[in-house]
């Protein structure tokens, strides 16, 4: 069977867990900066686009050429008659000027390096964190791919209870709920490969979009009633609203719920000095509240800085980029 080389991109900091996810999906590969490179049977990009929660896009490496003439002669018609050219790296202007660029067409990435040009086709189109359900966001939303990455870093199992104590517009919660429901993250969206000239629509439709569901207790709470409304509507659009429970609660005044599980949150960040003092206070109260309400639970928090104010024993820290902001995921046991 013909094999192809794919580069599956992700958020910086999630390369290792993306490699783990792809391995579980049946595509072992090598993590490197920004993603994972793998060899897979032709057309595997369809399944990876549909099922990877951590991938931001899937690039099909078509060739590496050493001259503009070779680039001009590449047989690309099976993919598309037109491409939007995205040239970068060494000699980007020279490589980028060889082929006509049609805005909005399938993206052709040309990466110049050491006198050669690496040619890739973007099989995803819109970045994969666009799952298709989130038409509304809160004040500080996170990408769905990062949310899935935090869940993986925490080693959460979908059959375990989960409580997002500051759920905002519900990104972490909805990712977790979809995982428990066994739903493919890409089931409600379109991909660039669907417009390839050689696309086999019936073959793609035949790929599974769901797997065995497990029963999990999934809770989300937030102080802001408006944020909870956004979560509710996003969860309805994703088709998972019935599977989660929402409640308006102050995370600094929680009462005990269940015996064990994962308590998780994308915590508020403070940019200015005054805000940072407030944030220290909030984190201290949150830590105190969690120690009282969730003994025996493990935790995963995404934050920019100030984890020490939580007063929790942190077992692992992972640096990740949250929309370009250098953040960390802190993990431990309450």
Ligand X SMILES: C[S@@+](CC[C@H](N)C(=O)[O-])C[C@H]1O[C@@H](n2cnc3c(N)ncnc32)[C@H](O)[C@@H]1O
Tell me the number of residues near ligand X by CB under 6 A: 18
Q: Is 172 in the site for ligand X (CB under 6 A)?
A: yes
Q: Is 108 in the site for ligand X (CB under 6 A)?
A: no
Q: Is 268 in the site for ligand X (CB under 6 A)?
A: yes
The residue within the footprint of ligand X, chosen from 6, 50, 142, 180 (CB under 6 A), is 142
The residue within the footprint of ligand X, chosen from 252, 257, 280, 332 (CB under 6 A), is 252
- Listed residue (162, 166, 165, 192) closest to 175, CA to CA: 162
Q: What is the DSSP string of 218-269?
A: EEEEES-HHHHHHHHHHHHHHT-GGGEEEEE--GGG-----SS-EEEEE---
Q: Is 141 in the site for ligand X (CB under 6 A)?
A: yes
**Which residues between 119 and 138 bind ligand X (CB under 6 A)?**
138
Q: Is 266 in the site for ligand X (CB under 6 A)?
A: yes
Shortest gap between Cβ of 263 and ligand X (angstroms)? 12
What count of residues does the chain have? 334
Cβ(219)–Cβ(251) below 8 Å: no
- Listed residue (32, 41, 31) closest to 5, CA to CA: 41
Q: Which residue in the block uniquely carries the two structure tokens 């993590």?
A: 31
Closer Cβ to ligand X, 35 or 168, answer by number: 168
Closer Cβ to ligand X, 165 or 181, answer by number: 165
The residue within the footprint of ligand X, chosen from 227, 246, 290, 329 (CB under 6 A), is 227
Closer Cβ to ligand X, 92 or 140, answer by number: 140
Q: What is the DSSP string of 282-319?
A: HHHHHHHHHHHH-TT-EEEEEESS-GGGG---EEEEEE
Residues that bind ligand X (CB under 6 A): 138, 140-142, 166, 168-169, 171-172, 222-224, 227, 250-252, 266, 268
């Amino acid at each position: 069977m013909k094999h192809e080389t794919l580069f599956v991109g992700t958020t910086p900091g999630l390369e290792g867990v993306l490699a783990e996810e792809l391995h579980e999906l049946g595509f072992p590969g090598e993590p490197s900066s920004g993603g994972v490179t793998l060899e897979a049977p032709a057309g595997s990009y369809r399944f990876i686009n549909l099922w990877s929660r951590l991938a931001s896009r899937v690039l099909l490496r078509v060739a590496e050429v050493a001259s503009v003439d070779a680039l001009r002669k590449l047989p690309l018609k099976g993919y598309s008659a037109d491409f939007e050219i995205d040239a970068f790296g060494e000699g980007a202007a020279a490589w980028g000027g060889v082929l006509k660029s049609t805005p909005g067409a399938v993206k052709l990435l040309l990466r110049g390096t050491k006198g050669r040009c690496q040619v890739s086709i973007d099989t995803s189109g819109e970045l994969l964190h666009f799952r298709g359900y989130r038409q509304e966001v809160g004040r500080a939303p996170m990408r769905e791919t990062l949310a899935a990455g935090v869940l993986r870093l925490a080693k959460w199992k979908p059959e375990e209870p989960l409580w997002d104590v500051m759920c905002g517009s519900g990104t972490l919660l909805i990712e977790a709920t979809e995982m428990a429901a066994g739903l493919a993250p890409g089931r409600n969206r379109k991909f660039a490969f669907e417009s390839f000239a050689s696309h086999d629509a019936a073959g793609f439709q035949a790929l599974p979009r769901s797997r065995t569901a497990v029963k999990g207790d999934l809770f989300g709470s937030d102080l802001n009633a408006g944020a909870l409304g956004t979560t509710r509507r996003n969860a309805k659009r994703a088709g998972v609203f019935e599977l989660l429970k929402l409640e308006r609660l102050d995370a600094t005044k929680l009462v005990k719920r269940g015996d064990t599980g994962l308590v998780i949150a994308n915590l508020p960040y403070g940019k200015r000095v005054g805000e940072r003092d407030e944030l220290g206070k909030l984190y201290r109260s949150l830590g105190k509240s969690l120690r009282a309400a969730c003994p025996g639970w493990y935790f995963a928090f995404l934050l920019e800085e100030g984890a020490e104010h939580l007063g929790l024993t942190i077992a692992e820290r992972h640096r990740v980029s949250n929309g370009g902001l250098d953040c960390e995921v802190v993990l431990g046991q309450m």
